[in-house]
């Protein structure tokens, strides 16, 4: 028979370790977030519905975004055993210079709407962690303001071609004067996509104080206090706007732009050029032939054409078609470090993340962005080690099987 005894306090004490109480609610919230999905949940609780939906949503029935995420979920990672992975190097090359991790922070519009710290917070995290950051034309901090916030960060400026070409020339001149390394031309917005969540929520810039909005204030008081007591939104590229995002895009952007307009752009910008929004092999070849230093396979996070090609599915064919003539990056649907590793294995030189760091920003400002970067970096390191590779250059198609 098993003999039993009454446990002594000295036996119980090592088993009863009380977790230290964290008094700072933001720190506590971020410590409890173990994944980007956790940050998304925290972001939803912290931000007004219209703002969260602007970030989280996509176009029409949101099929493009769901398909992109589903492909990442359904792919198979294929590990190789018995390799030395005691040290894992996540460094990669972006535009010929090293980046500490194989992802950059993608350009996002109206970032100070998500959290009052906005683009400055993202730039500071980017500078500390060696992550390149692209400021959007529709950003809510000026070109010069972001440069001042993080002088050490690798900064790119994302440009939409305006109907008023002189405005675009002015933006490129300001970016060059402020020390931005590269220009990112987004080419998949001839007109605005149908973002139905925004329409249903009555989302506008600045937020309209409708009855629905006033009711929302009661459930998200901290966001509203921060928005109303900090400096008004300052746009990177225009003085002010009142209306919906779709109305703004259709008013400003030029639907007549063609590949020939790259000659106009090159006359104003002599640095590295990134073309974002490539969705076919043929277009990847065209812009590569036109001299793009990098291309981004992207359907704009599913926010433009619904049922558009899934960038990850397109990646192997594009990588084969353009070879080493240009760098190939990919975005849309990335929610984990494993997603990033899978994209690299399928032929991407690097990736871009947008919603992932915005969830962190909404959950906890600059600390939340840092938490998102930390989560992604650790997941990249762990996935690489479990696959049996110690550097990004060792990743290849043998490590991934697409469904």
Contact 162, 229 (CB under 8 A): no
Left if phi > 0, otherwise alpha if psi is -120 to 50, otherwise beta: which for 133?
Answer: beta
399 is an active site residue? no
Residues 349, 344: Cα–Cα separation, whole Å = 6
The residue behind tokens 């064919």 is 317
- Say if residue 206 is preceded by a cis peptide, omega within 30 of 0: yes
* pLDDT score of 249: 66
Q: How far is CA 17 from the centre of its chain?
A: 39
pTM of the model: 0.93
Per-residue pLDDT of the chain (403 residues; tens, 9 = 90+): 778 888 887 777 777 777 788 889 999 999 999 999 999 999 999 999 989 999 999 999 999 999 999 999 999 999 999 999 999 999 999 999 999 999 999 999 989 999 999 999 999 999 999 999 999 998 999 999 999 999 999 999 999 887 778 888 999 999 999 999 999 999 998 888 999 998 888 776 666 656 776 677 678 888 888 988 998 776 666 655 555 666 666 666 778 888 888 888 988 999 999 999 999 999 999 999 999 999 999 999 999 999 999 999 999 999 999 999 999 999 999 999 999 999 999 999 999 999 999 999 999 999 999 999 999 999 999 999 999 999 999 999 999 999 9
* pLDDT score of 168: 87
Q: Which of 83, 115, 116, 300 is catalytic?
A: 300
Q: Which fold has domain 33-401?
A: TIM Barrel (3.20.20)
206-213 contact pairs (CB < 8 A, 24+) = 206/233, 206/242, 207/48, 207/50, 207/51, 207/113, 213/48, 213/50
Nearest to 188, CA basis, from 80, 90, 316, 287:
287
Which residues 6+ apart lie within 8 Å of 244 measured at CB? 198, 199, 203, 204, 205
* pLDDT score of 206: 62
Count Cβ neighbours within 10 Å for each residue of 269-281 and write b for 16 or more, e otherwise. Answer: beebbbbbbbbeb
Q: Where are the domains of the chain?
A: 33-401
* pLDDT score of 120: 96
Query: What count of Cα atoms within 13 Å lies in the side-chain half-sphere of residue 295?
Result: 33
Could you tell me where the beta strands, DSSP code E, fall in 95-235?
A: 97-99, 103-105, 133-135, 155-159, 182-186
Residues 309, 300: Cα–Cα separation, whole Å = 11
Contact 113, 208 (CB under 8 A): no
Nearest to 54, CA basis, from 112, 114, 139, 105:
114
Residues 175, 157: Cα–Cα separation, whole Å = 7
* pLDDT score of 215: 75
* pLDDT score of 239: 59
Distances from the Cα of 111 to the Cαs of 1, 12, 38, 135, in angstroms? 67, 50, 20, 10
* Cα-based torsion angle of the residue sequence 37, 42, 45, 49 in order, rounded to the nearest 10 degrees: -50
Residues 339, 353: Cα–Cα separation, whole Å = 11
Cα-atom radius of gyration of the chain, to the nearest Å? 22
């Amino acid at each position: 028979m098993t003999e039993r005894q009454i446990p002594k306090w000295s036996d119980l004490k090592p088993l009863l370790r009380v977790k230290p109480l964290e008094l700072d609610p933001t720190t506590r919230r971020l410590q409890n977030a173990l994944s980007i999905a956790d940050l998304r949940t925290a972001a939803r609780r912290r931000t007004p519905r219209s703002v969260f939906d602007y970030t989280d949503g996509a176009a029409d029935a949101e099929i493009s975004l769901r398909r992109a995420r589903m492909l990442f979920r359904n792919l198979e990672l294929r590990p190789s055993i018995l390799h030395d992975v005691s040290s894992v190097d996540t460094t990669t090359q972006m535009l010929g210079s090293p980046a500490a991790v194989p992802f950059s922070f993608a350009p996002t519009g109206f970032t100070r709407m998500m959290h009052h710290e906005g683009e400055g917070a993202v730039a500071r995290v980017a500078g500390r962690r060696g992550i390149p950051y692209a400021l959007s034309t529709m950003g809510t901090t000026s070109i010069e303001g972001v440069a001042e916030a993080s002088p050490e960060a690798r900064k790119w400026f994302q440009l939409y071609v305006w109907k008023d070409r002189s405005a675009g020339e002015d933006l490129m001149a300001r970016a060059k004067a402020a020390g931005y390394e590269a220009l990112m031309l987004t080419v998949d917005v001839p007109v605005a996509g149908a973002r139905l969540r925004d329409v249903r929520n009555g989302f506008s810039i600045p937020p309209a104080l409708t009855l629905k909005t006033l009711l929302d204030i009661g459930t998200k008081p901290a966001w509203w206090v921060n928005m109303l007591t900090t400096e008004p939104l300052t746009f990177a590229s225009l003085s002010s706007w009142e209306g919906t995002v779709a109305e703004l895009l259709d008013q400003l952007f030029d639907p007549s732009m063609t590949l020939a307009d790259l000659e106009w752009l090159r006359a104003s910008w002599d640095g590295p050029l990134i073309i974002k929004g490539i969705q076919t092999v043929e277009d990847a070849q065209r812009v590569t032939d036109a001299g793009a230093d990098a291309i981004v396979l992207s359907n704009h996070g599913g926010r433009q054409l619904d049922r558009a090609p899934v960038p990850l599915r397109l990646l192997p064919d594009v990588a084969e078609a353009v070879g080493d003539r240009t760098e190939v990056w990919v975005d849309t649907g990335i929610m984990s470090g494993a997603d990033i590793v899978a994209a690299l294995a399928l032929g991407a030189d690097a990736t871009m993340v947008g919603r992932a760091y915005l969830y962190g920003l909404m959950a906890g400002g600059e600390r939340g962005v840092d938490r998102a970067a930390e989560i992604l970096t650790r997941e990249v390191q762990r996935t690489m080690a479990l696959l049996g590779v110690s550097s990004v250059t060792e990743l290849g198609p043998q490590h991934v099987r697409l469904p």
